Amino acid sequence: MVCAFLLLGACDDNDTDGSVLPVSAASGRAVVKTAQVGVRPIFLVNDMDDGALKAALTQCTDGPFYKTDFSIGHRGAAMQFPEHTRESYEAAAAQGAGIVECDVTFTADKELVCRHSQCDLHTTTNILAIPELAAKCSTPFVPADPANGVAAQVQCCTSDITLAEFKQLKGKMDAANPNGTTVAEYMDGTPSWRTDLYSSKATLMTHAESIELFKKLNVKMTPELKSPSVEMPFDGFSQHDYAQKMIQEYKDAGVEADQVWAQSFNLNDVLYWIANEADFGQQSVYLDGRYSDSTFDHSDASTWSPNMTELVSQGVKVIAPPLWMLVKVDDDNNITPSDYAVAAKAAGLDIITWTLERSGHLANGGGWYYQSIADVIDNDGDQFELLHVLAQDVGVLGVFADWPATTSYYASCMKMPASQ
């Protein structure tokens, strides 16, 4: 057999096609053996400071690379592909993401679709370039007035349009130029560290369509029930209706509950699933967004309400804070688990975290996602240093990444279990 993957993957002479291992007797699902990690992880490894971790990761450049649940596709592969599109999801699966995310919101006719926010169509799609649909936006486009320091104004929501109208849209990289004086200028805002190279074809998807695609891609699913931007109930559609409809679409599609990691920043959504959909509730994920509360300090347990033990007593099993809440810098300038991380594990909570590869170049500390360790970050390769602490010291179940090849490379190198 000829190996065609080179650095993209690795071949095993015992395989007939280099694609899968035998079907798991326990799950009945094929175990994907290869992942196309490409050259970016190699670039990151080469950019690391010399040390034991770099040496270990350097030894893995020839693979084998395979799909793991540690690698979670955040909105697909959103660093380079328009988020929540078929193409982005397919790229994430190819890069070894064992779990892929559809953020869930709803249209004017209460149909569920994949969008990061109910009101992001003006930055993530071409809606402004379709006059008849742009006219339906909550806030139609108002050009910027740079001379007077006034930014452009616009807001377009999925709840402004029907599902049929939503399906007319095409995805684009999530970006906008606030100084745009025309629609074209406003839509042209992709940062230099991303790319529009893969925006020529970007197919938007309903939640139900994402389920069918993920089944074909043989990946697990992590839908996030997004906070509505409209007043609820919406035309008789309550928050509980919304939470239930999301789970029902998995049941209707015949997806087993252990293949789904339902998420929400709204603790009440998680508690609803625990109480009303026990099987799905078992691994529902509480996204901890309390960092936006001025009374919350992730380094001071007295400010946590509910605290870790109280969350567990309510039935919560998985918590998911941003990267920076799980780590800190010790007196020797080493990255170590934060008090928050230690407390979560001590209470018996599993942890998932977000989002790697979302900050551009890390030479100046990495920005919001790396804020607790900014003083010790000075190169892009430091992403692997953080990932190593999260995996080995914090013990997270998985990491959301905008470029899942990076997490897949690490997981494969460390011989984490293959996704089944």
The DSSP-derived string for 34-82 is -----SHHHHHHHTSPSSHHHHHHHTTTT-----EEEEEETTTTTTTS-
Whole-number pLDDT of residue 227: 97
Return left, alpha or beta for 141; rule: phi > 0 is left, psi -120 to 50 is alpha, else beta.
beta
CA dist 8 → 3, 130, 245 (Å): 10, 39, 39
What pLDDT is attached to residue 34?
87
* Among 145, 24, 122, CA closest to 418: 24
Q: Which two tokens stand for residue 276?
A: 């009303």
State both tokens at 1: 């057999």
3-state secondary structure of 336: strand
User: d(Cα 115, Cα 85) in Å, to the nearest integer?
Assistant: 9
202 Cβ contact list (under 8 Å, min separation 6): 81, 82, 85, 87, 88, 170, 171, 172
pLDDT of residue 125: 98
Supply angle C-alpha 257, 260, 266, rounded to 5. Answer: 110
Q: Phi then psi for 24, rounded to 5 degrees?
A: -70, 130
pLDDT value for 4: 30
- φ, ψ of residue 50 in degrees (nearest 5): -60, 140
Distance between CA atoms of residues 420 and 411, nearest Å: 15
What is the residue-wise DSSP string for 82-141?
Answer: -TTBHHHHHHHHHTTEEEE--EEEE-TT--EEE-SSTT-HHHHBSGGGSHHHHTTSSEEE
Is the separation of the CB atoms in 157 and 118 below 8 Å? Answer: yes
- Rounded distance between C-alpha atoms, residue 224 and residue 179, angstroms: 31
CA distance 149 to 137: 24
**397 in Cβ contact with 57 (< 8 Å):** no
Tens digits of pLDDT across the chain (420 residues):
223 322 333 333 333 333 333 333 334 444 446 899 999 999 999 999 999 999 999 999 999 999 999 999 999 999 999 999 999 999 999 999 999 999 999 999 999 999 999 999 999 999 999 999 999 999 999 999 999 999 999 999 999 999 999 999 999 999 999 999 999 999 999 999 999 999 999 999 999 999 999 999 999 999 999 999 999 999 999 999 999 999 999 999 999 999 999 999 999 999 999 999 999 999 999 999 999 999 999 999 999 999 999 999 999 999 999 999 999 999 999 999 999 999 999 999 999 999 999 999 999 999 999 999 999 999 999 999 999 999 999 999 999 999 999 999 999 999 999 998
Q: Over the Cα atoms of the chain, what is R_g?
A: 21
What is the per-residue pLDDT for 33?
62
Burial of 336 (0-12, 13-18, 19+ CB in 10 A): middle
pTM of the model: 0.92
For 51-83, letters b (16+ CB in 10 Å) and e give eebbeebeebbebbbbbbbbbbbbbbbbbbbbb
CB within 8 A of 104, min separation 6: which ones?
112, 113, 114, 207, 223, 224, 225, 226, 246
**What is the C-alpha separation between 152 and 66, in angstroms, rounded?**
45
Are 197 and 77 contacting, i.e. CB atoms less than 8 angstroms apart? no
| DSSP-assigned letter for residue 234 | B
- Give how far Cα 110 sits from Cα of 98, 113, 117, Å: 29, 9, 15
Neighbours of 196 (CB within 10 A): 13
All structural domains of the chain: 20-102+205-413 (3.20.20.190), 121-187 (no CATH)
Task: Give the model's pLDDT for residue 156.
Answer: 98
**129 CB-side CA count, 13 A:** 14
CA distances from 403 to 91, 98, 407 (A): 9, 13, 8
